[in-house]
Amino acid sequence: APAWRRRGVGCALLKKAVDRARSLTAKRVELQSHPGFDEGTMHFVQSCGFGTTDGRIARYTEIDFQRGR
């Protein structure tokens, strides 16, 4: 819902998911989207600590885990 945008809720949820993956010894977390992954979505996932590999995949890697991102 638009009223909840830009309040940190989405990044907090992604951080919890990444923390859980880390606790289960995951080496990376990937977010994949359909064609049409818009710039707003890409900016959002990057602001939450994910890097991008192309226009459809965002990755949080083992190196990011080691840095504590």
For the entire predicted model, the pTM comes to: 0.68
Across the chain, which has 69 residues, the per-10-residue mean pLDDT values are 84 90 85 72 82 69 57
**48 token code pair:** 């939450």
How far is Cα 60 from Cα 27, in angstroms, rounded to an integer?
A: 9
Tokens 């979505």 sit at which residue?
41
67 Cβ neighbours under 8 A, 6+ residues apart: none
* Confidence (pLDDT) at 12: 92
Task: Give strand ranges (E) for 1-69.
Answer: 29-32, 51-52, 57-60
SS3 13: helix
